[in-house]
Amino acid sequence: MPAAAPPLLASHPLLDSTDLDVVRAVTGRAWGEHASDVIGRDRYHLRLNRVEGARLPVTFVDCSARIEARMEGIGCQFQVMVPLSGGIDMVIDGRPLSTSPGEAVVVRPARSMRFVASPSRCLVVDLPDGVLDEWFQRHRTAAPAIAGRVLTGRSGGRVVRGALRLARLHDQAAPRRDGLSAALPPAVPLAEAALLARVGEYLFGEAPPPGDQPPSERVVVEDLLDWLRAHRAEPVSMGDLAAHAGVSVRAVEQAFASHVGAPPMACLRAMRLDLARRLLEAAPAGSNVTAVVLEAGINHLGRFAGEYQRRYGELPSETLLRSRGTSSTAGTEGASQNGYRAGGAIG
C-alpha cells in the first residue's frame, strides 16, 4: 500500500483533535456554526492546517472518519473544495453534488448545505465575500447564481492545479528562527489572483477577449514570476522583463502593483535571498559566504546581510556554519571574518 502523501500547509497547524465539540467550535469560527456527527465506528481524528494568505484563506483537512455536517443560512461566500483522497457528497440548496479526488467543486450556498465526507483529505480555499465579484465587475458581467458546481474538463483541472499551487507556495515560506510568522512568499498574491481568474473564467464560460483589457491586465504575472525564478541568478533588468512579456516597462510595473503588491525587482531580490539560503545550507566544506552569495546572483552585497537577517532571523554566515554543525558562537565569529554584519556595508 503506497504511503500517504505528506500534509499540505504543515507549517500552519490549527487543530489536531479527537473531540468533535472542539472541532465544531474551531471550524465554526472559520466557516460558520454547524451541526456535525460521526457516521460509523471509525475512530474520529481531525487535523486542520490553515493559513490566512493575502486575501484567500487556505485550509488542509485530514479526517479519519466518515462525517456528516449540516449548515443553515451560511451566506454567500464562495469556496473551492478539492478532495485529495476520499470523496464528498453534498446537497447544496437542495441540489445534490458529488466530487472525487482530483476534482474541484465551487460552492456558494445561500440557504443550506449538507455534506457527507468519507475518511478524506481535502483542500479548501475560501473566496471571501466580494473578491470573486470584483473579477466579474472588472469584466463587466454578473456573477452566476449558483449553489454549487463540480468543475470538470481542462478548465476544472486548471482550478485544481491553481488551488494546489497556492497551498504549496505557502509551504515554501521558510519558518523564522525568532518565532515570528514568516512573510508571505512574493508569488502568493499573484497565485490568489490567478485562482480567482480561473474560477471566474470557468463560471463565466470563457476568458474576456484580450483586446478589451489594458496592457497591464494582459500581462500574465504568474509567467513573469516563473521567468524571474528561472533567471534569478543572472543579471536581469526591467527591460528584459518587459521584452519577455511583450509590453512596456510601465505595463509590467502596473501589473505587479495590482496583482502582487510589490515591484518586480523586489520579488527578484526575495527569490535571490531564498536561493542564497538554500545554497548556504547545502554549501560544501571550505565555502565562504561571498562566493555562495555571488552564485545566487546577488552582486550588491552591502545590504544583503541585513535583509537576510530580517527575513530568516540569522546572519548568512550563521546559516553556513550551522549547516556544518558549528555552534552559534562560532557563527558570530564567522560573521565578522566574512565581513557580514546586520546593516553593515561591504565594500
DSSP 51-87: E--SS--EEEEEESSEEEEEEES--S-EEEEEEEES-
DSSP 8-state assignment for residue 212: G
SS3 328: helix
- Are both 165 and 294 inside the same structural domain? no
Residue 37 has what pLDDT?
92
Q: For residues 311 and 191, what is the distance between their CA atoms, to the nearest angstrom?
A: 21
Element (H, E) at 46: strand 46-51
Query: Which one of 112, 142, 171 terminates a domain?
Result: 171
pLDDT reported for residue 4: 58
Residues 163 and 20 in one domain: yes
Query: What is the tally of structural domains in the chain?
Result: 3
Q: Which conformational region is residue 9 in: left (phi greater than 0), alpha (psi within -120 to 50 degrees), or beta?
A: left
CA distance linking residue 308 with residue 316, whole number of Å: 7
Last residue of a domain, one of 240, 261, 282: 261
Residue 177 lies in a domain: no
For residue 107, give the CATH number of its domain: 2.60.120.10
Domain extent at residue 310: 273-337
Domain assignment present for 106? yes
Find, among 91, 88, 73, 89, the residue nearest to 31 by Cα: 73
* Strands lying side by side in the sheet with 112-117: 35-39, 66-72, 112-117, 88-92, 95-99
What's the pLDDT score for residue 142? 66
Please, what are the averages of pLDDT over each run of 10 residues along the chain (347 residues)?
68 92 90 88 91 92 92 74 88 84 82 85 88 70 73 80 89 62 72 82 57 55 81 89 82 80 86 89 86 87 83 86 58 34 28
Last residue of a domain, one of 223, 240, 261: 261
Q: Are 218 and 210 in contact (CB under 8 A)?
A: yes
The answer to whether 216 and 249 are in contact (CB under 8 A) is no
134 and 245 share one domain: no
**Residues 53, 184: contact at Cβ < 8 Å?**
yes
How large is the angle between the packed helices 264-282 and 316-323, nearest 10 degrees?
30
Q: Identify whether 2 is part of a domain.
A: no
Q: Which of 54, 56, 57, 59 is nearest to 14 (CA)?
A: 59
With beta carbons less than 8 A apart as the criterion, state whether 114 and 90 touch. Answer: yes
Give the closest residue to 261 by CA, choosing from 200, 199, 184, 180.
Answer: 184
The answer to whether residues 71 and 117 belong to one domain is: yes
Nearest to 246 by CA among 216, 275, 267, 271: 216
Q: Which amino acid is at 39?
A: I
Residue 321 in contact with residue 340, Cβ under 8 Å? no
Are 90 and 221 within one domain?
no
Same domain for 332 and 230: no
| Span between the terminal Cα atoms of the chain, in Å | 58
Residue closest to 67 by CA, chosen among 115, 124, 134: 115
C-alpha grid cell for residue 336? Answer: 565578522
- Grid cell 532571523 in the structure block, residue: 313
> Is the same domain home to 155 and 301?
no
Whether residues 113 and 234 share a domain: the answer is no
Q: Are residues 126 and 225 in the same domain?
A: no
On whether both 83 and 161 belong to a single domain, the answer is: yes
Residues 217 and 142 in one domain: no
Beta-ladder partners of 71: 113
125 and 28 share one domain: yes
